[in-house]
Amino acid sequence: MIEDLEFNDWCPGCGNFGILRAEEEALGELGLDYKNAIIVSGIGCSGKTPHFINVDISGVHTLHGRSIAFATGIKLANPSLKVILNVGDGDTLGIGLGHFVSAGRRNLSFVIMMHDNGVYGLTKGQASPTLPKGEKTKSLPKPNINAPINPISIAIAAGYSFVARAYAYDTQSTKEIIKEAILHKGSAFIDVLQPCPTYNDINTIDWYKERIYKLDIDPNVNNPSQRLEKIKQAIDIAYQEDKIGIGIVYKDLTIEPFEDRLLSNIPGYIQYYPAKTEISNNNRSISDLTSLIDELKV
């Protein structure tokens, strides 16, 4: 059940409602709960998502552009958790871009769902990094003068082993993409296109209806020799003009996840990762600092 949506901070018709519904159904169908899953968000309209999910999933509402850093710490502290991020195009590809690229390079197993509406909706519609150059939404005094970032191409270049594009108003296909992303071993990125009816009067529901189609491709890299071919296919899809392919764009099954590299390089990590490590007994620290204190004595 979606909890108390009549008191939420989203505008009527916001694409976040569709994303929330798809995500909740995906979590329910996979049977995830607070014991094995956590939702992390940043600041922006997307940041409220953990507050509205009532399926016994833990949630963390973090800082602008820093949700990936939080999620990385959570996953490394407890590799058994499924970690799902809800982030915006503004905080992720603006101040958070360095974290976004590093996450793809590591290939740590979590899901980044980017709510992509081309504007900073929470702060009244400034142009985000994904708004095309020359577009003037109703909140901008003049047309955008910056070239846009292409999220799909950035994700591919950064090394994400699962890259997909979804559409907020197609909740069923978005749900299936989310499920596959959660089950994937490695860094998964979903660029979820969403109308912003309040501030973006260009990329509307009708605008998307004229351009969106379902992809019918094989995105899987089952052998490293296929990688270049599949990357070229993904980049072609990313830069198509006047049409927008929805579905899994790229899925590399040959890259070792970061947590597996930790397990193979740090003896005992799987038995003693931080979430399993005992740090206290009867609310008293079990750490013995005597030798360290003795070394510091003068």
- The pLDDT, as a whole number, for residue 281 is 74
Residue 40 falls inside a structural domain: yes
Q: Would you say residue 175 lies in a domain?
A: yes
The residue among 200, 182, 114, 195 whose CA lies nearest residue 149 is: 114
Checking if the pLDDT of 65 tops 90, the result is no
Does 272 fall in a domain?
no
Evaluate if residue 189 carries a pLDDT over 90.
Answer: yes
Q: What percent of the chain has pLDDT over 90?
A: 63
* Residue 151: Cβ-neighbour burial (10 angstroms; 0-12, 13-18, 19+): buried
Q: Decide if 288 is inside a domain.
A: no
Here the CATH number for the domain that contains residue 125 is: 3.40.50.970
Q: Which of 289, 24, 36, 11 is nearest to 174 (CA)?
A: 24
pTM listed for this prediction: 0.89
CA dist 89 and 87 (Å) reads 7
The SS3 of residue 45 is helix
Residue with tokens 């740590």, as numbered in its chain: 108
Q: Is the pLDDT of residue 1 over 50?
A: no
- 285 has a pLDDT exceeding 60: yes
- Asked if residue 247 belongs to a domain, the reply is yes
Predicted pLDDT of residue 50: 86
**CB of 134 within 8 A of CB of 197?**
no
For the record, the structure tokens of 290 come out as: 């005597």
Domain for residue 41, yes or no?
Answer: yes
Query: 39 forms bridges with which residues in the sheet?
Result: 59, 84
Amino acid 121: pLDDT: 85
Domain total for the chain?
A: 1
Residue 123 has a pLDDT of: 83
Pairing between β-strand 126-127 and β-strand 119-120 as defined by DSSP bridges: antiparallel
**How would residue 271 be classed by pLDDT, with cut points 50, 70 and 90?**
low
DSSP helix/strand/coil, 165: strand
- State the residue range of the domain holding 215: 5-265
In a domain, residue 285? The reply is no
Cβ neighbours around 252 below 10 Å, total: 23
